[in-house]
């Protein structure tokens, strides 16, 4: 029984353990190592490996299915770029500090994550190729949509900020961190499939470990912010749970309304609710450096959506197995 629980929930347990150990380490030995990796291209390196291994894991039928699932991609993009900002706008009408509102606006306008969503889709038994399609399209669209959407949301606080984004730099980043390693993995699998088969079953575990390393580096970088948030952290926690819950509910309701079955629904639900962290941190530092609570919202949402979605991915996988 114990071994079954460990096997089923090891990922969610590891997320909670990493959070507890990194934040509670008074010597800061663990967080110092994480910050060092952050400053030496650790996150970018991990993302490259995740998409390289994802390329090795993909099969032609998955790629075809992912590229042709227009309905699923459209629903996910609607949740990412319309439902999320609308939810943040509604939350901003409550009596919460302006810094928290800014944080939700930043989270709401972000595209989906570059790595964890793809990995969790695979954990849930969904089509990883479709998750990759959503990732690439959402991050490409975000370059043009973030300035417009963020400026619109800021009207709810009476703050006038012009969001300036280097579109070329972001597009190049997507190309080098996602497209190049993904295509490299696909090519290697095509030319050396018999060799790749020898260790292909271990690659999903490797990708999950890489996601855990991303969480550790993010926590190490923002440990001080978490510890200095005081009592307001409870308020942020409740609103983050509500915000992410709305996105998951929107995804779950959409796949039922539009009859998106197992194998396709997982990517819609998980990719629609996940938001990338690095870009939100960059924009917070450049646009709202005097609102420290905004950074806290970005970080807490990132951590909680990994915890919640890690658990949800396991449930979706079990449900899929039971129905098979």
pLDDT digits (tens, 9 = 90+) for 59-97: 777 777 777 888 999 999 999 999 999 999 999 998 888
The residue assigned the tokens 């440990």 is: 223
Tell me phi and psi for residue 277, to 5 degrees.
-95, -45
pLDDT at 244 over 90: yes
DSSP string, 189-244: HHHSHHHHTTTGGGHHHHHHHHHHHHHHHHHHHHHHHHHT-TTHHHHHHHHHHHHH
What is the Cα–Cα distance from 258 to 21, expressed in whole angstroms?
A: 42
pLDDT at 138 over 90: no
Provide the whole-model pTM: 0.78
Average the pLDDT over 204-229 and give the result: 80
Torsion sign, CA atoms 271, 273, 277, 278 = positive
pLDDT digits (tens, 9 = 90+) for 148-172: 888 888 887 766 555 555 667 766 7
User: Cα dihedral angle (85, 89, 94, 95), rounded to 10 degrees?
Assistant: 90
- At the top level of CATH, which class does the domain 11-27+59-177+224-317 belong to? mainly alpha
Note the pLDDT of residue 166. 64
- DSSP-derived 3-state class of residue 42: helix
Note the pLDDT of residue 38. 82
Would you put residue 125 in left (φ > 0), alpha (ψ -120 to 50) or beta? left
What is the Cα–Cα distance from 28 to 141, expressed in whole angstroms?
A: 38
What is the Cα–Cα distance from 204 to 135, expressed in whole angstroms?
A: 18
pLDDT at 121 over 80: yes
Neighbours of 142 (CB within 10 A): 23
Cβ burial 165-179 (10 Å sphere, 16+ → b, else e): beeeebeebbeebbe
Percent with pLDDT over 90 in the chain: 19
Neighbours of 192 (CB within 10 A): 11
DSSP string, 263-300: TTHHHHHHHHH---SHHHHHHHHHH-TT-HHHHHHHHH
What is the Cα–Cα distance from 315 to 250, expressed in whole angstroms?
A: 18
pLDDT at 131 over 80: yes
Per the prediction, the chain carries an average pLDDT of 83
pLDDT digits (tens, 9 = 90+) for 22-62: 888 888 899 999 989 988 888 888 888 888 888 888 777 77
Q: Report the chain's terminal Cα–Cα distance, integer Å.
A: 23
Average the pLDDT over 173-199 and give the result: 82
DSSP string, 14-32: HHHHHHHHHHH-TT-HHHH
Note the pLDDT of residue 5. 62
Percent with pLDDT over 70 in the chain: 89
pLDDT at 194 over 90: no
Note the pLDDT of residue 320. 61
pLDDT digits (tens, 9 = 90+) for 263-321: 889 999 999 988 987 778 777 767 777 777 888 888 888 888 888 888 888 888 776 65
What is the Cα–Cα distance from 65 to 76, expressed in whole angstroms?
A: 16
Domain boundaries, the chain: 11-27+59-177+224-317
Q: How confident is the model at residue 145 (pLDDT cuts 50, 70, 90)?
A: confident
Q: How confident is the model at residue 225 (pLDDT cuts 50, 70, 90)?
A: confident
Note the pLDDT of residue 2. 62
What is the Cα–Cα distance from 318 to 296, expressed in whole angstroms?
A: 33
Q: How confident is the model at residue 1 (pLDDT cuts 50, 70, 90)?
A: low
Note the pLDDT of residue 71. 92
The closest alpha carbon to 126, from 272, 318, 259, 264, belongs to 264
For 89-93, 101-105, 192-196, 319-323, which range has the lowest pLDDT when averaged over its residues? 319-323
Note the pLDDT of residue 74. 94
Note the pLDDT of residue 6. 67
pLDDT at 118 over 90: no
């Amino acid at each position: 029984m114990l071994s079954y629980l460990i096997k089923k929930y090891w990922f969610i347990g590891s997320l909670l353990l990493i959070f507890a150990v990194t934040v509670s380490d008074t010597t800061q030995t663990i967080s110092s190592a994480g910050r060092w990796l952050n400053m030496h291209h650790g996150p970018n390196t991990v993302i490259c490996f995740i998409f390289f291994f994802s390329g090795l894991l993909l099969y032609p039928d998955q790629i075809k299915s992912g590229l042709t699932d227009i309905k699923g991609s459209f629903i996910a993009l609607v949740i990412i770029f319309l439902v999320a900002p609308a939810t943040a706008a509604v939350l901003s009408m409550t009596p919460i500090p302006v810094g928290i509102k800014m944080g939700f606006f930043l989270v709401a306008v972000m595209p989906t994550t570059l790595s964890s969503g793809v990995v969790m889709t695979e954990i849930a038994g969904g089509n990883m190729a479709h998750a990759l399609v959503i990732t690439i399209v959402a991050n490409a669209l975000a370059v043009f949509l973030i300035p417009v959407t963020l400026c619109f949301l800021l009207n709810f606080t009476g703050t006038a900020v012009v969001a300036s984004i280097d579109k070329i730099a972001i597009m190049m980043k997507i190309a080098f961190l996602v497209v190049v390693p993904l295509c490299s993995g696909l090519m290697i699998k095509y030319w050396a499939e018999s060799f790749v088969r020898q260790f292909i079953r271990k690659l999903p575990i490797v990708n999950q470990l890489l996601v855990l390393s991303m969480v550790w580096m993010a926590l190490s970088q923002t440990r001080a912010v978490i510890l200095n948030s005081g009592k307001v952290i409870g308020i942020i926690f409740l609103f983050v749970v509500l915000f992410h819950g709305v996105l998951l509910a929107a995804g779950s309701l959409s796949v039922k309304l539009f009859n998106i079955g197992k194998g396709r629904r997982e990517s819609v639900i998980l990719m629609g609710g996940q938001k990338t962290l690095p870009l939100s941190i960059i924009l917070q530092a450049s646009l709202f450096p005097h609102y420290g609570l905004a950074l806290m919202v970005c970080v807490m949402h990132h951590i909680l959506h990994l915890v919640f979605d890690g658990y949800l991915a396991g449930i979706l996988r079990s449900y899929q197995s039971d129905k098979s």
